[in-house]
Structure 1
């Protein structure tokens, strides 16, 4: 079992019977005070609403709300959907579904770990659901897996409602640190890790610092020569301005290689703050647009100066299925999809290549 380093426990809160028919999470728009909640009484659909992409929506039909709670950092919800299994939602944004989580978890883990020989020490920042841990466990060369997650409620809820994802916590190599990933990295001795995987939410709220230059500098310092980092890097369809900034920062810091890859995750819009309603579309003051669902998510892969790393061609095969904690085969990742992930559409390649020069 994973060793946990944390002070105190956060209680889990099940929804009251009258809460099961509706929930929403409201955003702060233009400095206006954030409402506590905006409830609906019409059961049926979970929708994400954002002012950034008018005219489009992505909704999931809700069978039942399984959990609602508010941690010290965010609202947490789990519901049973009609088509994607159980769904984890943080502050109104879908984080994973049972049906398509494999595409994200497997790619963000194996793109970096399969690109270097014999990784031994791995750090995961974020990733409280445990899916990245599950995938790291497939690599028998790994001796130490540290994970730093700021929100203990995410860990506990994931263990309860997503056991096939959170099974990664059962790996004895895992040491869980509950706390701020930025502060954790600053305290790490130089050259500690072979790989760092940053499984963050979008660059708002507590996750904002994980997209800024000082954080990437801390990551580079924590990596050994030729070490690698893979971080969630938004959607080429929605966030090229954010990706440009990430590429620019990484090119200044990582003197090995800097690459952008992407994958498909049907339920990933990867949006900014939103209003979410379970049951009906609402209008909050000037907020009247609906979220676009891009269905893709990207990863920034970088290496420090040292032994060269060619991210586009995997060199470290994944072990057989009986050597990992989940005891199940890969659903999404393979060596062909690894290489294909770096093939970018022309509009994205033009921008990223320009920033990489």
Structure 2
């Protein structure tokens, strides 16, 4: 009988995934990394026994965190990714030929190296794109020291536990706002609101104080169990007011063939269920 992996991220809720084959299991200075095979989701990456991404459903997360802000902006040239060591976010951002430069800041070089070897389907060559500048550093320190000028900042962080905790503070969000170019957009992953409501509320409270336009949008990702995941949205521009026809034109011009993102889904993602609306300050 196959072994089962059980994620116990939440106090009173757990999910289990069958391990068909274990590909990698090792501890780095920062965290424990594992990759195993599952018949439905393909290869699955876990950090400290929490599911981070899978070959099967990563496209939902990565498409919605990248294409929503980039297509809403309409003229994004410089993009910053905080985290994203598996390369999936860089893969989607770099699909936009209009993006001239991507800075990716990852704290753990070990995640990148083993992702190249054990999860190549996620990055699909993104690490070799000459537009990608890879920085091995603490994201909070980098954002504090950078001169900024980014059109889009994507915080592809782990949950607010351990190394990822500093990426959920008011100070970090303030530094991120300063690093945006005029009209720039900040997006963040904010967990599953049904089970991690306080995480979203805390981020939205900070965004409310920082941005003229702040909210979250949602997408349902099977292995991030417990309902739809929330993505924080903050900007001082008008990007959220873009209409459907403009989005369709930008989407067509970008030549994107997505498995989840569509212009219609883009707009609908900002329509929040009542229980999520009540988590916003």
Fold shared, TM-score > 0.5 on shorter chain: yes
Q: TM-score, normalised by structure 2?
A: 0.93
Deviation at 1:222?
0.5
Q: Which has the higher strand share?
A: 2
Q: Tell me what 1:288 maps to.
A: none
Q: Tell me what 1:78 maps to.
A: 35
Matching residue within 253, 260, 263 for 2:216: 260
Q: Tell me what 1:9 maps to.
A: none
- What count of residue pairs does the alignment treat as equivalent? 275
Point out 4+ residue stretches in structure 1 off by more than 3 angstroms: 311-316
Q: Tell me what 1:234 maps to.
A: 191
Pairing of 1:326-345 with structure 2 (within 5 A): 329-345=257-273
Paired with 1:311 and 1:300, the residues of 2 have a C-alpha distance of: 16
Q: Is the counterpart of residue 349 in structure 1 residue 277 in structure 2?
A: yes
Paired with 1:164 and 1:46, the residues of 2 have a C-alpha distance of: 22
Q: Tell me what 2:8 maps to.
A: 49
Q: Is the counterpart of residue 244 in structure 1 residue 172 in structure 2?
A: no
Q: Is the 8 A contact 1:267 1:295 kept in 2?
A: no
Indicate the structure whose relative CO is greater, using CA pairs within 8 Å and at least 6 residues apart: 1
Q: Is the 8 A contact 1:151 1:178 kept in 2?
A: yes
- Secondary structure of 2:279 counterpart: helix
Paired with 1:320 and 1:51, the residues of 2 have a C-alpha distance of: 39
Paired with 1:302 and 1:118, the residues of 2 have a C-alpha distance of: 17
RMSD: 1.6
Q: Tell me what 1:310 maps to.
A: 240
Paired with 2:243 and 2:60, the residues of 1 have a C-alpha distance of: 19
Q: Is the 8 A contact 2:8 2:50 kept in 1?
A: no
Bigger-Rg structure (1/2): 1
Q: Tell me what 2:172 maps to.
A: 215
Q: Is the 8 A contact 1:111 1:311 kept in 2?
A: no
Q: 1:309 to 1:161 in 2, by over 3 A?
A: same
Deviation at 1:216?
0.4
Paired with 2:187 and 2:165, the residues of 1 have a C-alpha distance of: 17
Paired with 1:166 and 1:160, the residues of 2 have a C-alpha distance of: 10
Q: Is the 8 A contact 2:83 2:156 kept in 1?
A: yes
Q: Deviations over 1:286-314 (max 9, x none)?
A: xxxxxxx314211001113xx42226746
Matching residue within 129, 133, 155 for 1:198: 155
Q: Is the counterpart of residue 179 in structure 1 residue 109 in structure 2?
A: no
Structure 1 unaligned runs (5+)?
1-41, 269-292, 322-328
Q: Which has the higher helix share?
A: 2
